[in-house]
Amino acid sequence: MKVALVTGANKGIGYALVERLAKHYTSSDDWHIYLTARDNERGKTACEKLKQSGLQVKFHQLDITDENSRKALIAFMKKTYSDGINVIVNNAGMAYKNDAPELFGENARITIDTNFTSNVDFTLECLPLMVKDARIVNVCSMLARVAYKRLSAPLAAKFNSSMTLDQLRLLMNEFVKHAEAGDHEQYGWPSLTYGVSKLGFTKATYILADMLKNDPRKIIINACCPGYVDTDMTDHKGSKTPEQGADTLFYLATLPPGVTEPFGQFVHDRKVHKFLKT
């Protein structure tokens, strides 16, 4: 049995991706597609909606910011699928609508914890379960590039340097510390909590790829941008439909066995975009 897991999938891009994956594998009994969501009822409702349209999907609760929730999902996967996991799409994330100065420190702490720290932790926790030719897709954003371009030269150099995940965590914690102190701009950080969080997750993807490059399982990991999509997160101002936004995620999640590229890249509209050194 093969398993694909999409986080944050009760609506928007994640939901559209689960739907497409389920349609893609509709003729195969070998695949179980999991829709995960933080809220049980919303997740189950989304799952039932897909089932009513004739698609075979499964639900499991997952709040990526909750270590116990992550552990429960991983324990379930270990028990249910002894062969392991084939695809993980780290789509879960959040964005504040208001980066007002008086809220900036708290916003930064919660946004970095969700979009960067928790996603990195979940990926690391899942790695032992990943099978040969597994695919990991980290949903990032072109706003990572915007944030990168607004960094001071010394900070940009740090993000372009070789570093470990622990060193990256310290760097992201520096942003949170200065955001909470209100002096982040003096230290070279932009006032873009979401963009900085996705910059961190993009850099983490590059580091994880370096960690996996000699792994005999030939796991392929990439970061991607779905584009400006009509979802709750964008107040439905995006020009792309969720289905269009899910296209690059689907492309990366279904890269066939034996391919070597893209690997450890940032992908948008199925094309590699470079703004950080890999």
Q: What is the 3-state secondary structure (H, E, C) of the chain?
A: CEEEEECCCCCHHHHHHHHHHHHHCCCCCCEEEEEEECCHHHHHHHHHHHHHCCCCCEEEECCCCCHHHHHHHHHHHHHHCCCCEEEEEECCCCCCCCCCHHHHHHHHHHHHHHHHHHHHHHHHHHHHHEEEEEEEEEECCCHHHHHHHCCCHHHHHHHHCCCCHHHHHHHHHHHHHHHHHCCCCCCCCCCCHHHHHHHHHHHHHHHHHHHHCCCCCCCEEEEEECCCECCHHHCCCCCECHHHHCHHHHHHHCCCCCCCCCCCCEEECCEEECCCCC
Please say if 194 is a catalytic residue: yes
Annotated catalytic residue: which of 15, 34, 148, 194? 194
Do the beta carbons of residue 267 and residue 261 sit within 8 Å? no
Catalytic residues: 194
